[in-house]
Chains A and B, each alone.
Chain A
Amino acid sequence: MTSSIPAKATGRPARASAPRFPARRRLLATATAGLLALGAAVVAQSAAHAGSSPSEGIVCDTAVNNTFTLGTRTGSVSTPDGNSIYSWGFADEGAGHGFQLPGPTLCVTSGDVVTVVLHNTLTEPVSIVFHGQSGVTANGSPAQPQFDAQHALTSLVQAAAPPDADAGVKVGSMTYSFTAGSPGTYLYASGTDVNKQVQMGLFGALVVRPKDHPHQATNAGTSATFNPDHEYLFVLSEIDPDIHLAVERGETPDWSSYQPRYFMINGRSMPDTLAPNNATYLPGQPYGAMVHIQPYSATNSAPALIRYLNAGTENYPFHPHGSDERIVNIDGHPTLGPTGQDLSYNKFDLNVQPGQSLDATMIWTDVDQWNPSTNPIPTKLPAITDQLLVGTDTWFSESPYLGVKGNVPTYITDNNQCGEYYHIAHSHALQQATNYGATFGGMMTLYRIDPPGGCK
């Protein structure tokens, strides 16, 4: 395809004159308006509904007999600043899906025998490593590192060869199999030319659920029970557009100048992370990342579960505002002591290491119960002219009170529906919360807290 990547930026225009992604935000606002039009119908569907794809929360691919067919694909990743980046990805051929970033989320149950048939359409060998799974076989033999005649490592595991037109082979193939291990969240990624192939997008998430207890995060009993209507997966990654451009042009990437410019949650950057799953304007990036809950209460006591997975090369110190998260699982290992003590712990910043997964439960509690009649805030909301609302959009309701909506100036796109609260959650390595250096971007999403009973 013809490259549409603009020349590398040497600097940005002065902030006062720089548009803040107006086209993207108008489109996002349209998507939001669509959500508004649906009203109460916009309800997160249970992840347990196999076959249907919820508009929010985790999207699970399941397969008959846990046999998945993943094919390599090329495609483009859209970034909020208008870039379009040539990428590679795994596609769930069994589900009839095409290119996507990240790869399909494969959901299985602990103890299941899982088979993944890899179809390679690229011009180089491709493989899959299932991080954290043991006893993996490749075409029936133990998955093992591969070396060439000079004993140089060529792949972490057996690879599918590229297509060979001379031999009449249109698609290379390799079949991996393993018994799904401890419940948790795991990375699968190419084990061949890993620097390049993982950067290009050959990675995805494997979710292993406890047998008989799919709504627990671990086998550690009910302490890790979560609300299945509020289960979220955050696959965290980064993109260096210069590497992608070199690969697109068939050039050798210069790894010594590796410099990620885009930082993704589920293959999207803020504000695209807010778009629903399968947003039509992000055809190759099907997974959203907005968390959507109501306050903790006696009748809403099961927490949300957020599965963090780092597919990149740097630590991602993820900071949700307004709530702590309790880490119950690390790399599929419950946070238990040697005699089964519950050692789960609260964090206001989850520093996810490369290749690591953290499963965390999350609630938000309306502790202070602000209410305009019975418990008004002790300070004064300034007049709008003294508020310096930022940019062309706001998620502010112009009220301190949950479920109370004030008026937003007409020149600002109002993303608030009924006085719900929004909190930001983002990498606190703050250059990772930008799109090629532009603020309010990157590895960032929102946690939406509706009033009890939800927006009507």
Chain B
Amino acid sequence: MDTSSIDRRRLLLGALGAGSLAAVSRVLLPQDARGAVAAADPVGTGPQKAIALAGTDGWVSMPANAPADPPFFPDPLAPSPFNTYVFGFRDVSGLSDTDLAAQRGKAQISAPILVFDEEDEITLSLYNLGLSQRPDLFDGHTMHWHGFTNAIPLFDGVPELSLSVPVGRRFDYFYKPHDAGTYMYHCHFEDVEHVQMGMTGMVWVRPKQNRTGVNGYPVGTKYAYNDGDGSTRYDREFGIILTELWSAAHYRDAHIQVSDWTDFDASFWLMNGRAYPDTLAPNGANSVARPDGGLQYRPDLDTASGRLQYQPNSSHITCVPGERVLVRLANLGFQDHSLTCDEIDLTVVAEDASLLRNGDVTNYQTTNTVNIGPGESRDLIFTAPAVGDYFLYDRRYSFQNNGGGAGYGGMMTQISVRPSLPAQTQPNL
């Protein structure tokens, strides 16, 4: 690697001097773990960010041509054009109290993508709007930022070890992320149920390197990590969260029944809350760009997306030959998945928000199949090949269907390489 680069280890050991560095160069110190004290800026020194999420319930649509599975699917209680009951989060930042209250019963899946910078000081207000279909339940909700290192219990969202937000109340979580990467979030209240019902989303933390540039690449170049050499730079960025949907459980929640979660038996396999071919449909029609780089969707105002109204996140990947494309993967399902792209080499540069590098030793993996288990994340970079369409899909063919129906479904999306495209202004566009 370029000797002019500053790698994290040297930065950490700088105060000890070169002699100490030489003496310990082959010793991995625990402080090389993410979140090391020396790397952290203290609270009070970072940009303030505020975001508000609401937890509630609602209705969405699995592919309309999936075979019926009476009485579970399509759910007879579902208002047209929907067929499946869900819980979910909504981004309610900036809404008036009246508008906020009106979001009850209007959950989306997958949850809003949250995008931050390293050292942001984030106040995340979580509102519990209750369940419009199930007013008999007094379930709390919480925010668990999965993978946030050195968390304290109050902000980690496990109700048995901290608290949960009752119906009609709000709690303000605080996070100061010190480590870039691809994370995820979910409700941890009766997690097996609330996660399955749809309270899952992604969190991305952008590296400081985005603001400084490195190795001759100009400021404004985008990187996935503080790689020190530009190896994680990219031109376009897409995020895909993987989950499964068990129709019987969703039906039971809508119909005042209970599920034995050890009977879990997936009916649909989802990317960003949709099953193929819905994975290719565009993003939701009503959104505003947030100053923090994310998109706030208002599916309640989206009159154009029909049955996908409350599933605003597309998984379609578009790029131009030669571009470097970052794909952030997260899995909050209950199953392992093997995402395959037959004709494009994928370089895995990070797992679980940790760059695959240890000091000076880089261990990126180039592959065509990426295995990702429940709760894991991966960052993939590929160089867009010749113009054409390529599939990214779960190689487990028994998952490649919708409700057991004929034809392709499940976790499958397309990488469409086109001669030219507008510059990407927002992820997943």
Closest 5 CB pairs of A and B: A428-B375, A351-B373, A437-B260, A379-B172, A349-B375
Contact between B352 and A347 (Cβ–Cβ < 8 Å)? yes
Say whether A97 faces chain B, with CB atoms less than 8 Å apart: no
A377 to B262, CA, bound (A): 39
- B121, B261, B335 pick with most chain A CB within 10 angstroms: B261
Once the chains bind, are B151 and A423 in contact (CB under 8 Å)? Answer: yes
Q: Would you give 10 A-B contacts (Cβ < 8 Å), ordered by A?
A: A14-B256, A15-B258, A337-B361, A342-B28, A347-B351, A367-B178, A424-B158, A428-B374, A433-B191, A439-B261
Q: How many Å lie between the Cα of A381 and that of B42 in the bound state?
A: 21
Q: Assuming A11-B260, A342-B28, A434-B261, is B376 touching A367 (CB within 8 A)?
A: no
Give complex CA distance A317, B377 in Å.
12
Residues of A within 8 A of B336 (CB): 315, 317, 351
Which of B82-90, B161-169, B403-411 contacts the other chain? B161-169
User: Is A317 a contact partner of B373 (Cβ separation < 8 A)?
Assistant: yes
* Interface hits, A244-294 → B, CB 8 Å: 259-261
Contacts of A432 in B (CB 8 A): 334
* Residues A430 and B373 in contact in the complex (CB < 8 Å), given A402-B152, A437-B259: no
Find chain B residues with CB under 8 A from A37 CB: none
Overall SS of chain B's interface: loop
Given contacts A368-B40, A431-B264, 15 further A-B contacts (CB under 8 A): A301-B30, A319-B146, A321-B144, A324-B34, A326-B28, A342-B26, A348-B375, A366-B150, A389-B159, A400-B154, A421-B152, A429-B334, A429-B373, A437-B261, A439-B190
Taking beta carbons and an 8 Å cutoff, which residues of A are in contact with B? 9, 11-16, 221-223, 259-261, 296, 301-303, 315, 317, 319, 321-324, 326, 337, 341-349, 351, 361, 363-370, 375, 377-382, 386-391, 393-396, 400, 402, 421-424, 427-434, 436-437, 439-440, 446
> Which single member of A303, A321, A431 contacts B158 (CB below 8 Å)?
A321
Count of interface residues, chain B, beta-carbon cutoff 8 Å: 81
Find out whether the CB atom of A322 lies under 8 angstroms from the CB atom of B30: no
Select A345's contact among B37, B262, B264, B356, beta carbons within 8 Å: B356
**Residue among B154, B160, B259, B262 making CB contact with A440, cutoff 8 Å:** B160
Residues from chain B with a CB closer than 8 A to the CB of A323 are 149-150
Answer whether A303 and B30 are a contact pair too, CB < 8 Å, given A319-B146, A322-B150, A347-B352.
yes
Complex contact B189–A390 (CB within 8 A): yes
Give min CB distance, A440 to chain B, whole Å. 6
- Inter-subunit contact B140/A365 (CB<8 Å): no
CB < 8 Å A-B pair total: 244
B149 touches A324 (CB 8 A): yes
| With contact pairs A15-B258, A380-B172 given, residues A429 and B374 touching in the complex (Cβ less than 8 Å) | yes
In the bound complex, CA of A302 to CA of B163 (Å): 32
Inter-chain contact A430/B196, CB cutoff 8 Å: yes
Distance (whole angstroms) from the CB of A118 to the closest CB of chain B = 33
Contact B43 A346 (CB under 8 A): no
Beta-carbon nearest neighbor of B258 in chain A: A12
Q: Which residue of chain B lies nearest to A394 when distances are taken between CB atoms in the complex? A: B160
List residues of chain A with CB within 8 A of the CB of B356. Answer: 345
Given A387-B164, A388-B140: A343 in contact with B358 (beta carbons within 8 A): yes
* Contact residue among A317, A319, A361, A421 (Cβ-Cβ distance under 8 Å from B153): A421
Q: Is the CB of B149 within 8 A of A315?
A: no
- Asked whether A423 and B35 contact (CB < 8 A) given A303-B30, A349-B373, A379-B174, the answer is no
Q: Which of B10-50 contact A (CB under 8 A)?
A: 26-31, 33-37, 40, 42-43
Q: Whole-angstrom distance from the CB of A399 to the nearest CB of chain B?
A: 8
Q: B161 near A434 (CB under 8 angstroms)?
A: no
B101 CB to closest chain A CB (Å) equals: 17
Partner of A437, one of B164, B171, B262, B376: B262
Q: Say if the beta carbon of B238 comes within 8 Å of chain A.
A: no
Which of B164, B262, B332 has a CB less than 8 Å from the CB of A259?
B262
CB neighbours (8 Å) of B35 from chain A are 324, 365, 367
Q: How far is the CA of A427 from the CA of B43 in the complex (A)?
A: 32
> Within 8 Å of chain A (Cβ to Cβ): is B257?
yes
Q: Is B263 an interface residue (CB 8 A)?
A: yes
Residues in A whose Cβ lies below 8 Å from that of B151: 321-322, 423
Enumerate chain B residues within 8 angstroms of A365, measured Cβ to Cβ: 31, 33, 35-37, 150
Output the least CB separation between B178 and chain A (Å). 7
B176 touches A (CB below 8 Å): yes
Among residues of A, the one whose C-beta sits closest to the C-beta of B167 is A388
B146, B164, B192, B258 interface centre (most CB from chain A within 10 Å): B192
Cα A402 to Cα B262 in complex, Å, equals: 36
Q: A387-B164, A431-B261, A433-B192 are in contact. Are A315 and B359 (CB under 8 A)?
A: no
The chain B residue sitting closest to A13, CB to CB, is B258
A341 touches B361 (CB 8 A): yes
Which B residues are CB-close (under 8 A) to A387?
Answer: 163-164, 166
Q: Is A370 within 8 A of B152, CB to CB?
A: yes
Q: Would you give the 0/1 interface string for B101-136, flagging 1 where the beta carbon is closer than 8 Å to chain A? A: 000000000000000000001010000000000001
Q: Which of A12, A260, A303, A365 has the most CB of B within 10 A?
A: A365
Determine whether B346 belongs to the interface, using a CB cutoff of 8 Å to chain A.
no
Residues of B contacting A349 in the complex (Cβ-Cβ under 8 angstroms): 147, 352, 373-376
Q: How far is the CB of B29 from chain A (nearest CB, A)?
A: 8
- With a CB–CB cut-off of 8 A, which chain A residues contact B28? 223, 326, 342, 344
* B231 on interface, CB distance cutoff 8 Å: no
Q: How far is the CB of B38 from chain A (nearest CB, A)?
A: 10
CB contacts (< 8 Å) of B195 on chain A: these are 430
B5 at the interface (CB under 8 A from A): no
Docked-complex contact B375 and A319, CB < 8 angstroms: yes
Return the contact of A361 from the options B30, B169, B374 (Cβ within 8 A): B30
Choose one: A14, A367, A391; the contact of B37 (CB below 8 Å): A367
- Residue numbers in A under 8 Å from B136 (CB-CB): 16
Measured between C-beta atoms, what is the minimum distance from B57 to chain A in Å? 16
| A425 CB, min distance to chain B CBs, angstroms | 10
